[in-house]
A and B are shown apart, each in its own frame.
Chain A
Amino acid sequence: MQQVLVNIPSVPIFERVVRASADEVGRALGFSAERVEDLKLAVSEAVNNAIDHGNKRQPGKLVEVVFALHNDKLEVHVTDEGGGIDTIDFSRKVVDEQNLDAGMHRGFGMYLISALVDDCEVNSSQSGTTLTLRLYRRNQDHDE
């Protein structure tokens, strides 16, 4: 197994650094262009969640992202340094009249993650939360 490790301060612009890494890793694994876009969006949502909700945008706190390249899958571990969480809501969120009128325009991130990757899991403690995303290699994926 090979690993790519990226640590960023909890500043939104550095999410773009992780996203660029996801793009390169996805391409290196031979994922299709569509799955690379899915990977980038899912990783982006996980990192933004860690920055905003885990580390509360405190620049001194790091978000650690590990891309673990297995023969059969890619695992992405996104870890914050926050105080932990009880649960994450992955249920489907859509734009609707009620939410628009109430000014509720956020909250799509976790649903998008769950819909775009093959599976995901959360491990949380008082010293931080790790969100693990998995994309399995498929027959149509190929080594470059």
Chain B
Amino acid sequence: MTNETNEVIRREEFGDVAVLHIMTNSVDAVSASAIEAVATATAMRPITVLDFANVAFINSAGISALLKFVVSAKKSGYTLYAMNVTPHHQKVFKMVEMSRYMPPIEERDLAAYR
């Protein structure tokens, strides 16, 4: 009952870039395990972008899940970015200093790689 089995992350890849579109609107204790399952080196590329366009809510359980991507990127020598982060979530990321490990990137900055 508490597991989200629908597609939680939709993956898009071009060149050295992987964009991981988070499809759940709530990055929380319920969706955390499904999100963590995607946080592997095989899902990532040298430039990996987490797209938060569909995300309306993130709590600390969700942050813990997102940190798995930070760890995987670090181990692989990849660079991790965050895209379409709401101002409130930017504030929360800064509070816990998550933005140091997952700085923001604009959609237009990816155009050069497409």
Name A's B-contacting residues (CB within 8 A): 11-13, 15-16, 19, 34, 37-38, 40-41, 44-45, 48, 93-96, 100, 103, 105-109, 111-112, 115
Per-residue CB proximity of B23-42 to A under 8 Å, as 1/0? 00010111000000000000
Residue total for B at the interface (Cβ-Cβ under 8 A): 26
Residue of A nearest to B100 (CB): A95
Contact across chains for B26 and A16 when beta carbons are under 8 A apart: yes
Q: Does B68 count as interface, using CB distance less than 8 angstroms? A: yes
Majority secondary structure, A binding face: helix
A11-B1, A11-B2, A105-B71 known; 16 other A-B pairs, CB under 8 Å?
A12-B2, A12-B28, A12-B30, A34-B88, A44-B28, A48-B59, A94-B97, A95-B70, A100-B67, A100-B71, A105-B63, A106-B64, A107-B60, A108-B64, A109-B60, A112-B96
Residue of B nearest to A52 (CB): B29
Contact across chains for A44 and B96 when beta carbons are under 8 A apart: no
**A13-B70 in contact given A95-B101, A112-B95 (Cβ < 8 Å):** no
Shortest Cβ distance from residue A106 to the other chain B in the assembled complex, whole angstroms = 5
A83 CA to B98 CA, complexed, in Å:
33
Q: Does B61 count as interface, using CB distance less than 8 angstroms? A: yes
Contact across chains for A115 and B61 when beta carbons are under 8 A apart: no
Contact across chains for B68 and A48 when beta carbons are under 8 A apart: no
Contact across chains for A105 and B67 when beta carbons are under 8 A apart: yes
